[in-house]
Structure 1
């Protein structure tokens, strides 16, 4: 099966084609945008398909990062993946950024627990804990920095994600660390999705609401009957 993977969870707008049978990447395109995923994603996908010498009709599944991550980026990535899957009559498979980061840390430090942790601001952490077999044992959830420190220390975890350094500093000790990025390499999402197979339709993983709220001056008064 050839699978298209999409990631818009952070600043990257990324796509790759992965041959699940041969377990190898066929081609990719990655842009570091910050914003503007909606305007560039279809072109990025087209370039990944071109690099792979693959047509849409050759695909057997669509993989997509579902977060936690950018509120807008996740909506763009997931809606595109679901739309393509519907049009092509193939499954769409969601993979969280936390499990992808944990998978990369586990590859570097086999048979160790991994705490994947992303800085969510407000001294909060988006976290998920995986055991020595890479099975999820906690989360994904929003926890405090103190709770993240306690979890990492108690489990002697390898750390991954943007909050890794913050946790180590707060703990006052060193931890073995995998990727300290906001998202994993695009092929990691492809590999994990290929191993998962078809499941529920992907949807964005929002562990808390969007930060943007309407300004009070723009709120309409409730009409009285």
Structure 2
């Protein structure tokens, strides 16, 4: 049983189990108040699932891509929670959850039957500063995990690659789907994502180079 946390877009927290699926999931679409809501979402998810922290076998963190300030809140929360209960942190690329959800959606299924046959999916999320994050996927593999063929990457709206793919503009990432990707990957013996946040650009605030010289 896993606790999954993602703040790459809005904030989402879920408790999942390989056999039972998504047991509880709560989210907030507010992309500016991650730090204010994440603790409450974790408490609500655990309470709704009737799960004690020590019942968990690990904590899943959505690694982005996402804006620096919001993304680091979820990753820090996941790291802290995992450390506190002595369980491993499991990193998963956030766009993978969007792709997995999209590949089984009715909208994509209908698109599969267009002339020319099925096509892959392009996941797009807001990077702010008039830029977008994108990842391209060719489909699901034999165990149901999304196959990423390109990305994640950052681009201006008119420079996003793979315009031939079925585009999914996501405003949120499901922690439930994120957690189930981790469960399926573990069961299939697949490697997890790198334990590295996908910021894809430098934060807005940089450290000072030192005190400035003051002239008389």
Superposed displacement of residue 201, structure 1: 6.5
Contact 1:93 1:201 in 2 (8 A): no
> Is 1:76 aligned to 2:69, yes or no?
no
Alignment deviations for residues 27-70 of structure 1 (CA, whole Å, 9 cap, x no partner): 23323333332233222211111111100010011112121223
Alignment equivalent of 2:12, drawn from 11, 14, 28 = 14
Gaps of 5+ in 2: 110-117, 141-145
Which 10-residue stretch deviates more, 127-136 or 190-199?
Answer: 190-199
Superposed displacement of residue 184, structure 1: 2.2
Superposed displacement of residue 94, structure 1: 1.9
Q: Provide closer, same or farther for how the CA distance between residues 200 and 107 of structure 1 changes in structure 2, counting only shifts above 3 A.
A: closer
Greater relative contact order (Cα 8 A, min sep 6): structure 1 or 2? Answer: 2
Question: Greater helix share, 1 or 2?
Answer: 1
Size of the aligned set, in residue pairs, is: 195
Counterpart Cα distance in 2 of 1:74 and 1:219: 28
Contact 2:137 2:149 in 1 (8 A): yes
Counterpart Cα distance in 2 of 1:145 and 1:38: 28
Counterpart Cα distance in 1 of 2:193 and 2:173: 22
Contact 2:2 2:17 in 1 (8 A): yes
Gaps of 5+ in 1: 162-180
> Is 1:190 aligned to 2:198, yes or no?
no
Q: Provide closer, same or farther for how the CA distance between residues 3 and 76 of structure 1 changes in structure 2, counting only shifts above 3 A.
A: same
Q: Provide closer, same or farther for how the CA distance between residues 222 and 193 of structure 1 changes in structure 2, counting only shifts above 3 A.
A: farther
Residue of structure 2 in register with 1:107 after alignment? 104
Superposed displacement of residue 96, structure 1: 2.2
Alignment equivalent of 1:152, drawn from 163, 176, 189 = 163
Which 10-residue stretch deviates more, 193-202 or 48-57?
Answer: 193-202
> Is 1:140 aligned to 2:138, yes or no?
no
SS at match of 1:152: coil
SS at match of 2:104: helix
Contact 1:92 1:201 in 2 (8 A): no
Q: Provide closer, same or farther for how the CA distance between residues 41 and 119 of structure 1 changes in structure 2, counting only shifts above 3 A.
A: closer
Residue of structure 1 in register with 2:88 after alignment? 91
> Is 1:130 aligned to 2:134, yes or no?
no
Normalised TM-score (structure 1): 0.75
Alignment deviations for residues 5-47 of structure 1 (CA, whole Å, 9 cap, x no partner): 112222x33211111123x222233233333322332222111
Residue of structure 2 in register with 1:5 after alignment? 4
Normalised TM-score (structure 2): 0.77
RMSD: 2.7
Contact 1:105 1:158 in 2 (8 A): no
